[in-house]
Amino acid sequence: MSLQSNVWAIAGKWASTIAGALHSVLTVVVFLLLDLLDTVFCLIYRFIDEYLEGKRKKPCYCEKRDGNGRTTGEIQLSETMWGRRNVFRLMGARLPSKRLKLQPVDCKKSSDDCGTAAGRWSDCRCESCVSWTKNGDGRKLHVVVREPSSSAAGSGESIENVIFVHGFLASSSYWTESFGESPKPMDCLYTLQDHLETIEDSVVKPFQVKSFHIVAHSMGCIIALALAAKYSGYVNSITLVAPEEEESSLRALEKIVKKRLWPPLMFGAALMSWYEHLGRCVCFLVCRHHRAREKLLMLLTRSRNVYFMLRDLTRHTHHSAWHTMHNVICGGARCMDEFLEMVSRSGAKVFVVHGDQDPVVPLQCSVNMKRKFWDNDKQLTLDVVWNADHTSVIMGREKEFTRRLEHIWKESSGSCPPYSLQL
């Protein structure tokens, strides 16, 4: 019996090794094919853009660039946009067309270089997607404001301001039932500085916020730390859900969206992040027709609304999603330690919540973040949510998460004892 068990164990190991090898070979073949397809679609889009947009077309990032980043004013773009590995570009392949300069467009100087008046031909033309062309509010966010009830205001308890920042390919729906209809301007490179300035212009300055808490999820954690570092004297507490850690831009891209076939969600993320033109094809087929698909889903499900996470996933243009992914998630990762150091010096309390089963941002990222607050271990609190992934760390646990937030805000003011999160 023992011999038979050993034979089965050895056979199982061999089968696992062979399956792993086959998967590795298949992964190489598939992504090699995608490298080729992306190069082909680069030519196709160049031709179509030239025909439909003429001088107003926007260049792609397929050409090589020198240095570790290109500075436009005070904004440094992420090197991942042009430093992505592609076998055909590494082999020295050159596209049979004139070299395109990758100089970002400044629409304040010339409206002729800003694409069509209602966005690119491959983008959706619905009111939400082209709102940036109207009323001069292209850089203003859609802000959802929730004020305390009259009973709460008259209870005598202090009223706190809280700024919620959602993650990548999400909206304010993540925090509230109202859909976020923030514009997706073409004259924006969606850098970390751009996101920070829009929060200032849309929330901090118009509402004259002088004291506030910040709650952020995923990509929003980078923006939240940048905001906290700049307004360190205004911030009372910072709650970060599933934050990433300091990495070089290219390393962050390889770590967060590693080229792999399984699970399907990670394959889709790799396709959209590594392949500029294939990602544009997906956006053309899926995002451009999101209204028709939403109507079809509502008809099939006999519902008045589409589940907000599915709706938010497709209400983005390729331009906004592509640049946000590279300039904030990858480009912003290299600034994390600097922001953490500034927050640490300010004395603001930081609360980190992370799921132990998170496949997108591993729990180790938050563990490493806690270690960087070595001078004051009590300044950062790490709560691990067991059996939770990148989404379920909040979704499905909303009530307990809300109670935790309320306690955090009171704890930061010293009005209640420490709290242990049990989810």
Under 8 Å between Cβ of 228 and 200: no
Residue from 408, 331, 341 nearest 369 by CA: 341
Q: Which H helix or E strand runs over 337?
A: helix 336-346
* Integer Cα distance of 88 and 84 in angstroms: 12
Is position 358 annotated as part of the catalytic site?
Answer: yes
Please list, in sequence order, all residues whose beta carbon lies within 8 angstroms of the beta carbon of residue 42, skipping any fewer than 6 positions away: 60, 62, 95, 276, 277
3-state secondary structure (DSSP) of residue 301? helix
Residue 17 main-chain phi, psi, to 5 deg: -65, -45
Q: Is 187 considered catalytic here?
A: no
Catalytically annotated residue among 195, 217, 390, 407: 390
Among this protein's residues, is 213 annotated catalytic? no
Using CA atoms, how far residue 192 sits from 72, 86, 188, in Å, is 13, 26, 11
Q: Phi then psi for 55, rounded to 5 degrees?
A: -70, -15
d(CA 291, CA 345): 47
Query: Residue 187's closest CA among 223, 137, 128?
Result: 137
Cis peptide before 418 (omega within 30 of 0): no
Q: List Cα–Cα distances, 285 to 261, 276, 282, in angstroms.
A: 21, 15, 5
Active site residue 218: yes
Query: Which residue in the list 166, 195, 217, 354 is annotated as catalytic?
Result: 166
Residue of 131, 173, 218, 366 with catalytic role: 218
Instruction: Find the catalytic residue in 319, 358, 407, 412.
Output: 358
Angle at 145 between CA 157 and CA 214, to 5 degrees: 70
* Residue positions annotated with a catalytic role: 166, 218, 358, 390
